[in-house]
Amino acid sequence: GVQTCALPIFYWTVDELTAAFYLAERKYTTQSYAHLRTVLDLLEKAELFFQQPVWADVWASADKKKIVEELSPKAIRKKLGRPKFDPVYGFYSELGIHGTWEALRKRVTQTGKRKDRTQVAMRIGGTPWDSEVEMAIVGCIMTVFTTLLAVVKIYDTRLHQREAVTIVRARFEGMREFLREH
């Protein structure tokens, strides 16, 4: 059934979260955000397929045009009754997967200015700023928590509710403490 379809999607999110954290630790924040955005895509698909199973069949079909039209992130959010624009998804898109000016600014620093020339340093090999790395790691932590909530939501009838609530609360408190400290 559809809950079975969600299981491999959740496993896929684990790979993406692992890659995102690995890259963030090594100062590749742009690349980390790209993986976090993929997780959000996957979580929305899992939720849509659970709520409206017909879309899982479309996703698994060979009709690429229909898949692109009906299962784009905006189309999925609309089907889920959410606004088309998700600010977290937008943040990950702008700084991760799309070649935007804002993402470029995170890699370039003005080092000086002479008459008609501006001198810049361009960072190759990740960001030199710890604040950028910390932000990517916070994104990883929050996306892990979002994933945990999605698992509990989709598999709620198969989970021991009291235990699930206890685990979610404990993880939330752990996340909150980490964010408070860092």
- Read off the pTM: 0.85
Q: How many Å apart are CA 153 and CA 163, to the nearest integer?
A: 14
Residue 2 has pLDDT above 70, yes or no: no
Residue 3 has pLDDT above 60, yes or no: no
Q: Look up residue 6 and give its DSSP letter.
A: H
Q: How many Å apart are CA 150 and CA 46, to the nearest integer?
A: 8
- What pLDDT digit, counting tens, does each position of 98-124 carry? 888 888 877 777 788 888 888 888 878
For the chain, how far is it from start to end, CA to CA, in angstroms? Answer: 42
- With H, G, I as helix, E, B as strand and everything else as coil, classify residue 147: helix
